């Protein structure tokens, strides 16, 4: 393999790159080798320190690990806490608000991540919230003007994705946040598909909340979701989804809740410690490289991938302009689901989403050669109709 850029030196740190062409960091980023030893550290600590481990770091981990994520998303220390996933963070944020007859609208797009929609939909069942869903014309993008128009004086919250999971479309978070603030609404930016591949700062964007997870571009594995709350809002909010970690004196075991000052009030019960250990190696690597460098490489590689897909006679469904997309390229074909199955069988790890096609994501550890190989393989599978055996396929994961 020829070394085409210095980020390729990180390849050795990711065991799965040795035996697959791994192009699925929009779904499950590759595991850093160091995660083996972090999980051993966890077990060692539990085995040797026992219950003392809580006072020796475990109890504070949702905040200390949150500080590592904060550096990636441009937040200050003490403004991010760790949770299990985005869905619980959305519920927790919603539980801070009381809809009124005059301000009860939730605005999001139909291309939002479905799990996020389920949270609002379920809460809207009692009739106290209304949901306005902004439509897409092409299933790939959301017209900004249409989104902005839907946000009005009756809007309470705008939970939206920075990068759309299906197509990789990068939304204008600044414009949406400004519009929401103009009318007194709050925004919740879902940064799951942007953090670690698109540089941004929650502080500069001035979002009220941000949430994401570590499974994808952060290479941190499952169970390590994060929640950012704008510092000036923290003191004003009292989440109803709560627990003893949100208490100002949890070990006083008071029978009444008094919220902790600052970000700890956005915690609930005991944290998922092993997941936090597992996630740290990914954050360390992303912070060491820096998201600007990752994005620079990603733009170069996704641009090249789009060119090669066109040259091979495929339809590219994700945005063509690099400024409009995150780290993923989607390739359409009527047999895309079946082509995906055959690619996976041949150790090219990608996935398929209806309406978009084969999702392919180079990350900082991807070589140019791997991109050439995947396009060549897709072409071969199409031209030989090797995908026909999988023709009833849907999404595999
Ligand atoms: C944009 C976006 N939000 C949220 C999620 C996942 O949500 P959760 O952390 O609740 O599983 C995904 C995962 O695919 C996603 O792409």
What secondary structure, in 3-state letters, does the chain show?
CCCCCHHHHHHHHCHHHHCCEECECCCCCCCCCHHHHHHHHHHHHHHHHHHHHHCCCCCCHHHHHHHHHHHHHCCCCCCEEEECCHHHHHHHHHCCCCCECCECEEEEECCCCHHHHHHHHHHHCCCCCEEEEECCCCCCCCCHHHHHHHCCCCEEEEEEECECCCCCEECCHHHHHHHHHHCCCEEEEECCCCCCCCCCCHHHHCCCEEEECCCCCCCCCCCCEEEEECHHHHCCCCCCCCCHHHECCHHHCCCCCCECCHHHHHCCCCCCHHHHHHHHHHHHHHHHHCHHHHHHHHHHHHHHHHHHHHHCCCEECCCCCHHHECCCEEEECCCHHHHHHHHHHCCEECEEECCCEEEEECCCCCCHHHHHHHHHHHHHHHHCCHHHHHCCCCCCC
Q: Which long-range contacts (CB under 8 A, 24 or more apart) does 366-372 make?
A: 366/22, 366/23, 366/301, 367/1, 367/2, 367/4, 367/8, 367/11, 368/4, 368/301, 368/304, 369/1, 369/2, 369/4, 370/21, 370/23, 371/301, 371/304, 371/305, 371/308, 372/308
Whether residue 2 is predicted with pLDDT greater than 60 in this model: the reply is: no
Q: Which atom of ligand 1 is nearest the CA belonging to 213?
A: 9
As a whole number of angstroms, the distance between CA 229 and CA 83 comes to: 13
Q: 133 alpha carbon to ligand 1 midpoint, in Å?
A: 18
Which of 371, 347, 359 is closest to 395 using CA atoms? 359
Confirm if 109 and 142 have CB atoms less than 8 A apart: yes
Residue 371 pLDDT: 98
> Can you tell me which atom of ligand 1 is nearest the CA of 85?
9
Task: Identify any residues that bridge with 357 across adjacent strands, giving them in sequence order.
Answer: 353
CA distances from 353 to 26, 318, 336, 357 (A): 12, 12, 9, 5
Q: What is the mean pLDDT of residues 135-154?
A: 97
Q: Is 340 in the pocket of ligand 1 (CB under 6 A)?
A: no
Q: Is the CB of 190 under 6 A from ligand 1?
A: yes
Residue 274 pLDDT: 98
17-54 burial by CB neighbour count: b if 16+ within 10 A, else e?
beeebbbbbbbbbbbbeebeebbeebeebeeeeeeebe
Could you tell me the distance, in angstroms and rounded to a whole number, from the CA of residue 25 to the centre of ligand 1?
13
Grade residue 4 by pLDDT with cuts at 50, 70 and 90.
low
For ligand 1, whether the C-beta of 228 sits within 6 Å is: no
Quick check: 396 pLDDT over 90?
no
> Cβ of 77: how many Cβ atoms within 10 Å?
13
Residue 238 in contact with ligand 1 by CB distance below 6 A: no
Q: Is the CB of 161 under 6 A from ligand 1?
A: yes
For ligand 1, whether the C-beta of 327 sits within 6 Å is: no
Predicted confidence band of residue 340 (pLDDT cuts 50, 70, 90): very high
Counting atoms of ligand 1 from 1, which one is nearest the CA of 27?
Answer: 14
The confidence band for 290, taking pLDDT boundaries of 50, 70 and 90, is: very high
Q: Which of 88, 90, 113, 212 to mutate to test the pocket of ligand 1 (most atoms within 8 A of CB)?
A: 113
Contact call for residues 163 and 171 (beta carbons, < 8 A): yes
Nearest CA to ligand 1 atom 7: 86
Give the lowest-confidence range in 1-10, 76-85, 258-267, 313-322.
Answer: 1-10
Q: Is 223 close to ligand 1, i.e. is its CB under 6 Å away? A: no
**Confidence at residue 1, expressed as pLDDT on a 0 to 100 scale:** 45
Residue 244, judged by CB atoms within 10 A of its CB (0-12, 13-18, 19+), counts as: middle
Percent of the chain with pLDDT over 90: 96
pLDDT at 9: 97
Share the mean pLDDT of the chain: 96
**What are the pLDDT digits (tens) for 188-224?**
999 999 999 999 999 999 999 999 999 999 999 999 9
Residue 86 Cα to ligand 1 middle (Å): 6
């Amino acid at each position: 393999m020829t070394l085409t850029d210095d980020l390729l030196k990180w390849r050795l740190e990711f065991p799965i790159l040795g035996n697959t062409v791994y192009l699925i960091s929009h779904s499950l980023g590759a595991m850093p080798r160091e995660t083996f030893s972090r999980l051993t550290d966890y077990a060692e600590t539990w085995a040797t320190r026992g219950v003392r481990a809580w006072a020796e770091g475990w109890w504070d981990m949702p905040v200390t690990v949150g500080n590592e994520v904060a550096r990636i998303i441009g937040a200050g220390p003490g403004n991010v806490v760790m949770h299990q996933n985005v869905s619980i963070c959305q519920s927790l944020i919603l539980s801070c608000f009381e809809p009124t007859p005059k301000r009860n609208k939730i605005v999001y797009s139909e291309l939002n991540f479905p799990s996020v929609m389920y949270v609002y939909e379920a809460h809207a069942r009692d009739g106290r919230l209304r949901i306005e869903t902004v439509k897409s014309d092409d299933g790939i993008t959301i017209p900004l003007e249409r989104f902005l128009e839907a946000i009005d004086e009756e809007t309470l919250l705008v939970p939206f994705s920075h990068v759309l999971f299906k197509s990789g479309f990068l939304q204008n978070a600044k414009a949406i946040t400004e519009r929401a603030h103009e009318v007194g609404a709050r925004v919740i930016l879902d940064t799951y598909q942007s953090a670690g591949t698109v540089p941004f700062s929650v502080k500069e964007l001035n979002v009220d909340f941000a949430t994401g997870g570590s499974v994808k571009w952060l290479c941190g594995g499952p169970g390590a979701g994060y929640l950012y709350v704008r510092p000036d809002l923290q003191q004003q909010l009292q989440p109803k989804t709560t627990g003893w970690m949100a208490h100002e004196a949890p070990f006083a075991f008071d029978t009444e809740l008094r919220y902790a000052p600052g970000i700890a009030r956005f915690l609930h019960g005991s944290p998922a410690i092993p997941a936090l250990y597992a996630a740290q190696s990914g954050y360390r690597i992303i912070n060491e490289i820096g998201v600007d460098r990752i994005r620079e490489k990603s733009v170069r590689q996704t641009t090249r991938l789009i060119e090669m897909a066109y040259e091979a006679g495929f339809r590219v469904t994700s945005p063509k302009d690099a400024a409009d997309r995150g780290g993923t390229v989607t390739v359409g074909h009527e047999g895309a689901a079946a082509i995906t199955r055959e690619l996976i069988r041949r150790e090219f790890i990608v996935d398929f989403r209806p309406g978009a096609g084969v999702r392919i994501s180079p990350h900082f550890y991807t070589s140019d050669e791997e991109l050439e190989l995947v396009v060549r393989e897709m072409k071969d599978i199409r031209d030989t109709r090797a995908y026909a055996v999988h023709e009833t396929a849907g999404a595999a994961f």
